[in-house]
Structure 1
Amino acid sequence: MRFNYEELCNIDSPEWHDEDEYTVIGGDDEHVPQLRLPRHVKRDTVPSDSIGVLDSGLAELMNELDLGSKIPGPSRLKPGIWRKRTKSLSKSESKPFNPTPARHSYEPEMFLNLRESLAKSILMKLETLERDNAERVQEVKNEKERIRMEQQRIEEEQKRKAEEQARIRREEAEKLRQRAEMERKQQLEEQKRKEAERKRLEEERRKQEAAEKELKAQEEAKKVFGLTNFSKVEDFFKHYKHRIKAIKSEIVEPVKKDTSLKSILSKHKRKINPKFGQLTNSEQHLATIFSELSSLVDETKANQLGYQWILNFIAKALVSQAETEVRVKPESALPLGKLALNLLARYPELLDFLMARFVKKCPLVIGFTCNINSEEGRYKMGWKRAQNDTWEEETSYDERMGGITTLFSVITRLPLPLEIISSQAHPLPIVHSWQMLARIANTHTDLLTNTHFVVLGSWWDAAAAQFVQAYGNQARKLMSLLTNDLTNAVAERKYVGAARLRILSEDYETSGTLKSFPEMNA
């Protein structure tokens, strides 16, 4: 087979385009020649004597081409691949290069191996290039990812610092706000304290003025009448007795006739009545009961008749509680009295009903006294009939009068709640205690009974300490008149109540202090 380099490189020849006959080696790179090698030798066209024979000139040219140097990469075709054949030829033929084609022996497998080597080298280089390119791309991606992560880290760090600074600013602002709020609260508390102190001083001043006014009134009364004007006291008594009758005819009876209203009020009555017996020595519990009672009373305001009926029922319940519980446990009058005072402050109409009940059950609270030698006299003074239609025992009567007086006295000496002390007057101020004591002190000795001294002793336990605070030296004079002059006036009667009253006075003179009921817990 014969062919030269120009034939191998002549890619434009039409006969080279048959891909079944030739293999293309090389690419489009201008530095790498593109070679086409025959796939097989056509035995019918190639003379038998030319098989395996390579023209010496072509062999020399192919050796000088150094095709391996034209292939990029580390795998290059080693020079001399053609020289091995030509060297042997040159030794046997010592004549110079003859351009005339010569016949040499040639093995077709060498070109096949050359083709495979070139193909493998190129493929290896392409794989190397692709791998290097992939590594470079991966490096670029890694670098971009690193830059992105670094940028993200920087942004997060900046965001964290910004959030931290914002948090610090918020905390500082919150501290400033809390400090300002605390200062504001302290200012408000200081203002409230000053206001409460001012109101307390104002109340004390008002009480002092009221006491002085009462003293002047008493002195004027003594000048005009010599003693208490009992005719006026009796007018008060009659007024409240008539009020009791009016309540029955104008409120109680109409409600009985209105079955619908009666049913509603009966339900309220069943809810209200137990509340008075649930009182304890706790201020918080007292506030709860007061709130519950207020809600029940407010529900009846839409109906004026029902509203008055409920207030009358509450007045009866308060006095009844004094008759039953306070008579055996005097200190229980404190929570009961506070509840009564709160109700009086919230519902001013209650005072008329409560005073009517107080006077009906114990007229001594207004200083009224009459002879009890007759049934009418006993009825007026609040005596009760027993089941066998006889009068109740004197001891039972005295205990009931003492319980009612204790509640009345506690209400007079209790201050109004701070939130309303400046907006309204006390419904039953301590001047009522002064009136009761002064009228009993001026009562004719023929009308005095043990009950009068029991009532005075109950008042002493409930309100003496606050009475002295309100009236000072004048109070001490009146108390001395009651415990000394009045008890001496009936000394021969051996009243137990009078003896106890003297003991209370002696304890006060000895110790210099007046005992009072223990204050309620928070």
Structure 2
Amino acid sequence: MRFVFDELYQFSDDEEKYENDESSPCSTPEPSPADFTFVNEVEEDIPRLKLPRQSSSVELVSEKLDPESEQLLSQLNLHSKLSFADELPIIIPNSRNNNNSMSRKPDISMAPQEAAYGTATLLSTLQESLASKMNKLEIDNRAQFQSVKRAKETAQEERRRKEEAELKRKKEMEIKEQEAREAQRRQLELERQQREEELRLKKERDEKERMAKKALEQEETRRRQAEEAKKLEEQAIRGKAVTDFKAIEKTFRHYKDKIASIKKDIVEPVKKMDVNMRNIISRHKRKINPKFGQLTNSNSQLQSIQGELFNLIDQTRENNLAYLWVLNFIAKALVHQSETEVRVKPQSALPLGRLALSLLIKYPELKELLMARWVKKCPFVIGYTCKIDTEQGRQNMGWKRSSDQKWEEDTSYDERMGGIVTLFAVMTRLPLPSEFINTTVHPLSISHSWHLLARISNTPTNLLTNTHFIVLGSWWDAAALQFYEAYGNQAAKLLQLVGDNLTSAVSEHKYAGAARLRILMEEWQLSGLQSFPEMAA
């Protein structure tokens, strides 16, 4: 049986193309359906095949291909194209006799049963081949899927491993950095501790050296004070003849003349200065005057006011006359402050005395001006006493007249003298600031207090008044404790002399000041000496 592939289908591409045309260049007469046998009519997935019916009247002629076609056909590698090529029978169509004839002669004779069997075998082989390919494709797909999955898992595992390695590296780096920071911190802490230890040891050495130096200085000071006290005690023991009242009188006159000199050489010339300089001095006066009233029991406040006063005074140094005028004004202000505020509140003499002592150290010219003002207002500070039964005597002893030219009351005079002596006594017992101990001599040392007590003690009894004992009581409150610490037994003898012997000598006058002084002595014997409370920070 002989057929071509185009004849196996119900219609060919050419038939579809020319189905509506009446004629075609390659058309042949349409065979009758009765000439074909149809295979797989009910199948929908594959094309329906048709096979030509065999006629008993048609003789099957076996024809052979020409040698060239057979050679070309033999060169086709069907095994590489179809997996089932070995199972298919090779069907070689014969060449067509002419373009107008549609009859084909099979190469070999085949019975109808054999043709049907061959078709079934072909379909079965095609199905098995397709199933085999599908299975192979599914196996390949699964293998590829598994390969991709394994590759993906491998990539994920590699990425996870890299991430873990990177995280581990970062953690290790953080730990190393933290350890480095901790080591650096420990090193810095160790260095800080070493510096602190070195500083502490240095401070201890400095403190020991300072204490040793201070102890030597204190020992030297005690030695000098002991020698001075011994001399003063010897003078006191020898009696009144030892006190040179003429020398005291001479000192008194010197300071009285100094007051006149201040008026002539400082006050009057300033009035004749140019207006600009007078205005500058007036502004300084207005700034300086309130400072003394602003003092409190605070060291910080004292330092602030002291700095402001230093600045104001230094601004006048270029003009000597203005400089001396400002110092003279400060001297007057200090004495006035002791007459007004200290007389009411004796403890206020401590910050005022510290300020005055600092001014005396920084500006040595102030001492002469201040002593002149003190002696003019209160000659008791140098142990001077004269009779007050005359107008000149009262003026010499610092009495004031009121606006109606009457002398002030005794109480007012006593209080003023007590306030001035309180400031004077505090300044004599204050120590020098530490930075000036080795470079500066105390401008108003504790020996001035010894002179005051000794000279008043040696004053003739007929010149003693209640004011003398008011002055001694004010001095006792302000400096007795430090006086005793400085002179020891010599101070105790002099205090006993003032509090007992001197008050007994005027007992008949019943002076209130003498009674109070005797009470202070008795309190000392019972509970010790007392002093003003120290200043706060």
Please indicate the TM-score interval, normalised by the length of the shorter structure: 0.7 to 0.9
- 1:310 correspondence with 2:331: no
- 1:160 correspondence with 2:174: yes
Q: Does the CA contact (< 8 Å) of 2:469 and 2:514 recur in 1?
A: yes
- Residue correspondences, number: 459
Q: 2-side partners of 1:496 and 1:283: how far apart?
A: 36
Question: What does the per-residue CA deviation read over 1:85-135, in whole Å, with 9 as the maximum and x for residues that have no partner?
Answer: 99xx99733799xxxxxx999x9xxx9xx99xx99x99x989997x89987
- 1:435 correspondence with 2:451: yes
The 1:502/1:268 distance shift into structure 2, 3 A limit, reads same
- Matched residue SS, 1:368: coil
Q: Does the CA contact (< 8 Å) of 1:208 and 1:471 recur in 2?
A: no
Q: Does the CA contact (< 8 Å) of 1:63 and 1:83 recur in 2?
A: no
- 1:92 correspondence with 2:107: no
One of 329, 345, 354 as aligned partner of 2:345 = 329
The 1:46/1:369 distance shift into structure 2, 3 A limit, reads farther
Question: What does the per-residue CA deviation read over 1:253-307, in whole Å, with 9 as the maximum and x for residues that have no partner?
Answer: 3333332122222222222222221222222322232233233333333433333
Question: What does the per-residue CA deviation read over 1:464-509, in whole Å, with 9 as the maximum and x for residues that have no partner?
Answer: 1111111011111111222222222222222221121112112222
One of 293, 300, 322 as aligned partner of 2:309 = 293
Q: 2-side partners of 1:90 and 1:214: how far apart?
A: 169
Structure-2 residue corresponding to 1:179: 193
Q: Does the CA contact (< 8 Å) of 1:367 and 1:439 recur in 2?
A: yes
Structure-1 residue corresponding to 2:438: 422
- Matched residue SS, 1:416: coil
Q: Does the CA contact (< 8 Å) of 1:341 and 1:411 recur in 2?
A: yes
The 1:224/1:398 distance shift into structure 2, 3 A limit, reads closer
Structure-2 residue corresponding to 1:369: 385
Q: What is the CA-CA distance between 1:403 and the residue it aligns to?
A: 0.2
The 1:142/1:479 distance shift into structure 2, 3 A limit, reads same
Mean CA deviation greater in 482-491 or 383-392: 482-491
- 1:273 correspondence with 2:289: yes
Structure-1 residue corresponding to 2:227: 212
One of 395, 411, 416 as aligned partner of 1:379 = 395
Q: What is the CA-CA distance between 1:140 and the residue it aligns to?
A: 7.0
Q: 2-side partners of 1:143 and 1:293: how far apart?
A: 85
Q: What is the CA-CA distance between 1:222 and the residue it aligns to?
A: 7.9
Q: What is the CA-CA distance between 1:401 and the residue it aligns to?
A: 0.5
Q: Does the CA contact (< 8 Å) of 1:465 and 1:516 recur in 2?
A: yes
Q: 2-side partners of 1:217 and 1:189: how far apart?
A: 41
Q: What is the CA-CA distance between 1:444 and the residue it aligns to?
A: 1.9
The 1:278/1:245 distance shift into structure 2, 3 A limit, reads same
Q: Give the structure-1-normalised TM-score.
A: 0.75
Q: 2-side partners of 1:95 and 1:386: how far apart?
A: 166
Structure-2 residue corresponding to 1:497: 513
Q: Does the CA contact (< 8 Å) of 2:239 and 2:458 recur in 1?
A: no
One of 245, 249, 252 as aligned partner of 2:267 = 252
The 1:505/1:222 distance shift into structure 2, 3 A limit, reads closer
The 1:104/1:273 distance shift into structure 2, 3 A limit, reads same
Gapped regions of structure 1 (runs ≥ 5) = 5-39, 69-78, 97-102
Q: What is the CA-CA distance between 1:53 and the residue it aligns to?
A: 7.5
The 1:479/1:397 distance shift into structure 2, 3 A limit, reads same
Gapped regions of structure 2 (runs ≥ 5) = 7-11, 16-23, 37-48, 53-69, 92-109
Question: What does the per-residue CA deviation read over 1:365-386, in whole Å, with 9 as the maximum and x for residues that have no partner?
Answer: 1111222222222222111111
The 1:385/1:133 distance shift into structure 2, 3 A limit, reads farther
- Matched residue SS, 1:507: helix
Structure-1 residue corresponding to 2:18: none
Q: Does the CA contact (< 8 Å) of 1:405 and 1:459 recur in 2?
A: yes
Structure-1 residue corresponding to 2:258: 243
- Matched residue SS, 1:419: helix
Structure-2 residue corresponding to 1:353: 369
Q: Give the structure-2-normalised TM-score.
A: 0.73
Q: 1-side partners of 2:521 and 2:476: how far apart?
A: 9
The 1:298/1:169 distance shift into structure 2, 3 A limit, reads farther
Q: 2-side partners of 1:272 and 1:145: how far apart?
A: 85
The 1:144/1:361 distance shift into structure 2, 3 A limit, reads farther
Q: 1-side partners of 2:338 and 2:50: how far apart?
A: 146
Q: 2-side partners of 1:248 and 1:90: how far apart?
A: 170
One of 398, 411, 422 as aligned partner of 1:395 = 411
Q: Which amino acid aligns with 1:93?
A: E
Q: Which amino acid aligns with 1:517?
A: F
Q: What is the CA-CA distance between 1:328 and the residue it aligns to?
A: 1.3
Q: Which amino acid aligns with 1:399?
A: E
- Matched residue SS, 2:288: helix
- 1:463 correspondence with 2:479: yes
Q: What is the CA-CA distance between 1:521 and the residue it aligns to?
A: 2.2
Q: 1-side partners of 2:187 and 2:327: how far apart?
A: 54
Q: What is the CA-CA distance between 1:143 and the residue it aligns to?
A: 5.5
- Matched residue SS, 1:341: helix
The 1:311/1:492 distance shift into structure 2, 3 A limit, reads same
Q: 2-side partners of 1:420 and 1:181: how far apart?
A: 31
- 1:410 correspondence with 2:431: no
Q: 2-side partners of 1:241 and 1:52: how far apart?
A: 164
Structure-2 residue corresponding to 1:449: 465
Q: What is the CA-CA distance between 1:321 and the residue it aligns to?
A: 0.9
Q: What is the CA-CA distance between 1:216 and the residue it aligns to?
A: 1.9
Larger Rg: 2
Q: 2-side partners of 1:294 and 1:447: how far apart?
A: 42
Q: What is the CA-CA distance between 1:459 and the residue it aligns to?
A: 0.4
The 1:356/1:93 distance shift into structure 2, 3 A limit, reads same
After superposition, the CA RMSD in angstroms is: 4.4
Question: What does the per-residue CA deviation read over 1:63-82, in whole Å, with 9 as the maximum and x for residues that have no partner?
Answer: 865746xxxxxxxxxx5999
Q: Does the CA contact (< 8 Å) of 1:279 and 1:285 recur in 2?
A: yes
The 1:489/1:217 distance shift into structure 2, 3 A limit, reads closer
In the TM superposition, 1:188-203 aligns within 5 A as 188-194=202-208, 195-196=210-211, 198-200=213-215, 202-203=217-218
Q: 1-side partners of 2:353 and 2:178: how far apart?
A: 60
- Matched residue SS, 2:435: coil
Q: Does the CA contact (< 8 Å) of 2:233 and 2:490 recur in 1?
A: no
The 1:196/1:314 distance shift into structure 2, 3 A limit, reads farther
The 1:220/1:405 distance shift into structure 2, 3 A limit, reads closer
Question: What does the per-residue CA deviation read over 1:20-75, in whole Å, with 9 as the maximum and x for residues that have no partner?
Answer: xxxxxxxxxxxxxxxxxxxx844665877899789xx99xx99865746xxxxxxx
Structure-1 residue corresponding to 2:98: none
One of 141, 150, 164 as aligned partner of 2:164 = 150
Q: Which amino acid aligns with 2:386?
A: C
% identity of equivalent residues: 48
The 1:381/1:367 distance shift into structure 2, 3 A limit, reads same
Q: 2-side partners of 1:472 and 1:2: how far apart?
A: 155
Question: What does the per-residue CA deviation read over 1:188-211, in whole Å, with 9 as the maximum and x for residues that have no partner?
Answer: 443454314641552353144134
